[in-house]
Amino acid sequence: MSSTTVSTEIGSKSERAYAAIREKILGGEYTPGYRLVLAKLAEDLGFSVVPVREAIRRLEAESFVTFERNVGATVAGIDPTEYLYTMQTLSIVEGAATALSAPLITGSDIARARAVNAAMRESLAHFDPIRFTALNLEFHSVLFENCPNPHILDLVHRGWNRLQALRSSTFNYVPGRASESVAEHEALLKLLESGAGADDVERAARAHRAATLDAYLARNAGGQQDAPLHEKAPLARSL
Amino acid sequence: MSSTTVSTEIGSKSERAYAAIREKILGGEYTPGYRLVLAKLAEDLGFSVVPVREAIRRLEAESFVTFERNVGATVAGIDPTEYLYTMQTLSIVEGAATALSAPLITGSDIARARAVNAAMRESLAHFDPIRFTALNLEFHSVLFENCPNPHILDLVHRGWNRLQALRSSTFNYVPGRASESVAEHEALLKLLESGAGADDVERAARAHRAATLDAYLARNAGGQQDAPLHEKAPLARSL
DNA sequence: AAGTACGAAATCGTATACGATCAAGTTTGC
DNA sequence: GCAAACTTGATCGTATACGATTTCGTACTT
């Protein structure tokens, strides 16, 4: 990243520290469980502890790290329950955002989404999950970014960030689900082209995400420690 | 000066500063537009500027104040557009929370809600809008607090906080709407007693909030500066 | 008289220092 | 040998100080 940040560094040090730490978490340099020590971070990043502390508190608010008083911060880990909560919440807010976007979507938007979906199918054939995940975000972005309510849009972005923080692309991988997803994308586009009502769009968008979650839950049900998730599984399907 | 850290005081100073400032905003001591100067706040509260700054940043994240670099924080004001965004977002997340709570609700929950609703009707007869607003939160809390997804519940709480920060109880007052609201509450309770499905509960909960928003929009449409809100009005009804 | 340049006051942003608190390892008493 | 109390090391929490930035008033120019 950084794309040649010119000599005049933009933003306050708190903001730069936030961005830097966030990148290192998402980039995998700081793996879940890694302890983020203020003094060490400040040393590494070249800042003082105060802006680093502010960055950490912000990352805590966005659930990238957990924070314990007088103990410190650790990178948030992969937790099946958290994954379920996040996916369910995202199914709700993203469904709403997509429905609110639908009336404003243009033909060229749909064309672009269709091109992205084609690229997804291709990346699937080449076994490139990284690219697939990136394209998946791009596809859905086209569908929800026209949402005229910035609060809802913000919640959607937070949800996607959280999924990234959970490393869901490798975490929730379920064989066969990816190709299903591509097919559902095409169905979604057809629905939008047909000028369907907001309710139908919302339902379809929710169902799409719920299907991914269900696939994950179904796989885990066959696994070993299935008690806690089974108990909450109905939540995934109820909406 | 903090030579004797009295054990009665709990939480870090940042947290206490946050709580104190938040109370003063909600209590009306700091009205919208009021400039929150770090040094002055620190003086008033008896803390140093660092924890106060942290508190301010947190309040900013929750939209209680707006913050501008090198300028400072001001208490967020009443903005019809923000009100619309907040109500619409709340209709979505609260609708979902209520629907997810519905299967877990007990008979005594419903009895309590009904009692609260009776008190609302009474406070309406005595022209006590403060009490009415407080009871309204209590009523809805009974309906959504069983939501097993803490992320969604958190979003609902943020929405209600935001409404408080906007002072919606006086801001959005529409004659006649309050009594309608009480009637809709009873209908909601009957729906829950009938064991309706999650979809129906969600729709009803959304419609209840959308009706309040609609009443506000309808009143404002007859007002003076109606252009910007009219443009966004369809959003309110679409979900 | 209006607009601009400049300077002083106000305020935020961050560095540094030190006290407070917690976890863990070590000693002591039984 | 084991448990409880103590010591120690690491880390956070906050106060204070100072530099950076913006704002606003004032004088100067046109």
What is the C-alpha radius of gyration for chain B, rounded to an integer number of angstroms?
Answer: 20
For residue B220, what pLDDT is reported?
73
Lowest mean pLDDT segment, chosen from A4-18, B22-36, B68-82: A4-18
| pLDDT exceeds 70 at position A180 | yes
For residue A7, what pLDDT is reported?
39
The DSSP element (H or E) to which A223 belongs, if any, is none
Q: Is B3 within a domain?
A: no
The residue segments making up the domain with residue B95 are 80-238
Mean pLDDT, residues A109-122: 96
Identify the domain boundary among A75, A99, A116.
Answer: A75
Between CA A54 and CA A12 the distance in angstroms is: 11
Nearest beta carbon to residue A198 from set B54, B148, B238: B238
Partner-chain contact A149 B89, CB within 8 Å: yes
Between CA A86 and CA A163 the distance in angstroms is: 7
Mean pLDDT, residues B2-26: 76
Q: Looking at the structure, tell me whether residues B48 and B96 fall in a common domain.
A: no
Q: Looking at the structure, tell me whether residues B110 and B188 fall in a common domain.
A: yes
- Strand pairing category for B65-68 and B35-36: unpaired
Q: Looking at the structure, tell me whether residues B63 and B141 fall in a common domain.
A: no
Mean pLDDT, residues A164-192: 84
For residue B36, what pLDDT is reported?
95
Q: Which residue has the higher pLDDT, B222 or A210?
A: A210
Please tell me the total count of domains within chain B: 2
Q: Which of residues 162-221 of A touch B (CB under 8 A)?
A: 198, 202
Q: Give me the phi and psi of A156, to 5 degrees please.
A: -65, -45
Question: What is the share, in percent, of chain B residues with pLDDT greater than 90?
Answer: 61
Partner-chain contact A239 B150, CB within 8 Å: no
Whether chain A has a CB inside 8 Å of the CB on B129: the answer is: no
pLDDT digits (tens, 9 = 90+) for B202-218: 999 999 999 998 888 88
pLDDT digits (tens, 9 = 90+) for A117-161: 999 999 999 988 888 989 999 999 999 999 999 999 999 999 998
What is the C-alpha radius of gyration for chain A, rounded to an integer number of angstroms?
Answer: 19
| pLDDT exceeds 60 at position A79 | yes
Q: Looking at the structure, tell me whether residues B70 and B118 fall in a common domain.
A: no
* Sheet arrangement for strand B72-75: B35-36, B72-75, B65-68
| pLDDT exceeds 80 at position B8 | no
Q: Which residue has the higher pLDDT, A177 or B226?
A: A177
pLDDT digits (tens, 9 = 90+) for B82-113: 889 999 999 999 999 999 999 999 999 999 99
Q: Looking at the structure, tell me whether residues A178 and A234 fall in a common domain.
A: yes
Nearest beta carbon to residue B96 from set A69, A100, A239: A239
Distances B209 to A69, A206, B55, B90, B92 between C-alpha atoms, Å: 39, 21, 31, 8, 9
| pLDDT exceeds 70 at position B39 | yes
Partner-chain contact A202 B69, CB within 8 Å: no
Question: Which residues 49-68 of chain A have a CB under 7 Å from nucleic chain C?
Answer: 49-51, 54
Mean pLDDT, residues A58-65: 91
For residue A237, what pLDDT is reported?
55
Local confidence band at B174 (pLDDT 50, 70, 90 cut-offs) = confident
Identify the domain boundary among A28, A43, A75.
Answer: A75
- SS3 at position B8: coil
Q: Is the CB of B66 under 7 A from strand D?
A: no
Local confidence band at B6 (pLDDT 50, 70, 90 cut-offs) = very low
Q: Is B37 within a domain?
A: yes
Question: Which residues 45-64 of chain B have a CB under 7 Å from nucleic chain C?
Answer: 49-50, 53
| pLDDT exceeds 60 at position B191 | yes
Q: Which residue has the higher pLDDT, B153 or B7?
A: B153
Q: Do residues B74 and B156 touch, judged by C-beta distance below 8 A? A: no
Nearest beta carbon to residue B85 from set A50, A86, A151: A151
Chain B nearest C-alpha distance from A56 (Å): 11
CB pairs under 8 A between A and B: 75
Whether chain A has a CB inside 8 Å of the CB on B96: the answer is: yes
Partner-chain contact B100 A235, CB within 8 Å: yes
The one-character DSSP state at B67 is: E
Q: Is the CB of B8 under 7 A from strand C?
A: no
Local confidence band at B149 (pLDDT 50, 70, 90 cut-offs) = very high
User: What CATH number has the domain bearing residue A129?
Assistant: 1.20.120.530
Q: Looking at the structure, tell me whether residues A101 and A58 fall in a common domain.
A: no
Question: What is the share, in percent, of chain A residues with pLDDT greater than 70?
Answer: 85
For residue A165, what pLDDT is reported?
75
For residue A28, what pLDDT is reported?
84
For residue A1, what pLDDT is reported?
35
| pLDDT exceeds 60 at position A172 | yes
For residue A169, what pLDDT is reported?
59
Mean pLDDT, residues A108-121: 97
Contacts of B176 (CB under 8 A, 6+ apart): B215
| pLDDT exceeds 70 at position A2 | no
Query: Chain A residues with CB inside 8 Å of B93's CB?
Result: 92-93, 155
Distances B155 to A87, B133, B160, B225 between C-alpha atoms, Å: 14, 20, 9, 31
User: Which positions on chain C have an atom < 7 Å from some protein CB?
Assistant: 10-17, 20-23
User: What CATH number has the domain bearing residue B54?
Assistant: 1.10.10.10
Q: Is A122 within a domain?
A: yes
Distance C11 C1' – B127 CA (angstroms): 45
Give the mutation candidate from B67, B87, B92 for the A interface (greatest A CB count, under 10 A).
Answer: B92
pLDDT digits (tens, 9 = 90+) for A204-228: 999 999 999 888 888 876 554 544 5
Q: Looking at the structure, tell me whether residues A47 and A104 fall in a common domain.
A: no
Q: Which nucleotide is nearest to B70 (CA to C1')?
A: C12
Q: Is B39 within a domain?
A: yes
Q: Looking at the structure, tell me whether residues A230 and A113 fall in a common domain.
A: yes
Nearest beta carbon to residue B92 from set A96, A148, A238: A96
Q: Looking at the structure, tell me whether residues B71 and B180 fall in a common domain.
A: no
Closest to B160 measured CA to CA, from B72, B63, B76: B63
Q: Looking at the structure, tell me whether residues A87 and A176 fall in a common domain.
A: yes
Whether chain A has a CB inside 8 Å of the CB on B90: the answer is: no
The DSSP element (H or E) to which A66 belongs, if any, is strand A65-68
